[in-house]
Amino acid sequence: MEHKGLLVVSFGTSYPETRKKNIEHLETLLAEAFPDRTFYYAYTSGMIRKKLWERDQILIPSVKEAAQAALEDGITDLLVQPTHIMNGIENDQMKEDILGLESHFDKISFGDPLISSTEDQFAVIEALMEELPCLSDQEALVFMGHGSTHHANTLYAALDYAFKQAGYPGVYVGTVEAYPDVQAVLAQLREKDIRRVYLTPFMLVAGDHASNDLAGEETDSWNSLFRAEGYETSCILKGLGEYDGICDLYVRHARQALL
């Protein structure tokens, strides 16, 4: 008798509101898409798990703990769907943790992170632009990604290029912790006649980075830097898990993993 499980893995967030709107929203949709599978979830960030436990007494399992719990429940066939954006450090680590227990399962399937192919890039662009403001010639939309030291970071520059190819010349993609950074985006905007800039996170949750690095009051937040250059700004604090089309793509990746 096959016992099937679904494990949804996220980086995590310590912000309750955005956790509900993004991570838990997506977990619910994935659980509903696979009603024949017992649902499990995990966060990869030890720092966030520690904070949630100390502050709110919320106990979130690590990837290893969740996989171990599935084993103890008698799960033999495990489908793992990350809510990560790309095949970066967190995704590599997650696979390593689960494959350490591979011999105990009959079958393990991994769904792809959000953007794992060129096709995914254009599907993501379509999903986002359906719900974001239409831009006039004097407006720009700037996404703030996290950025990574992993070679997968080239995804952000490719995505910036893909937006333009998809017919959105006023859309730019930068990152907080890697390249292209905010200065690279500002340099591109200076060449255009842009008056107003919408700023929004390109992250699963609108958490710490969105509240502080993007929309914060400090002089080095993106909002402050764009204003200092003379742009009118408007922050859209919405995580990727709040876009229907993005959630659909995660579900599609989970289904494809079983084919």
Residues forming the active site: 146
Question: How is residue 131 written in tokens?
Answer: 């719900």
- φ/ψ (deg, to 5) at 92: -60, -45
The Cα 238–Cα 202 span in angstroms is: 9
CA contacts within 13 A on the Cβ side of 5: 23
Q: Residue 63 carries which DSSP code? A: H
Q: Which of 232, 253, 255 is nearest to 114 (CA)?
A: 253
**Which residue reads 């905010």 in tokens?**
182
CA quadruple 116, 120, 125, 130: dihedral positive or negative?
negative
Phi, psi (5° rounding) for residue 25? -60, -50
Beta strand pairing call for 171-175 and 139-145: parallel
Q: Within its chain, how far is the Cα of 198 from the centroid?
A: 19
Neighbours of 42 (CB within 10 A): 24
Host H or E run for residue 81: strand 77-82
**What angle is formed at CA 114 by the lines to CA 221 and CA 132, rounded to 5 degrees?**
55
Is residue 73 a contact partner of residue 2, using CB atoms and an 8 Å limit?
no
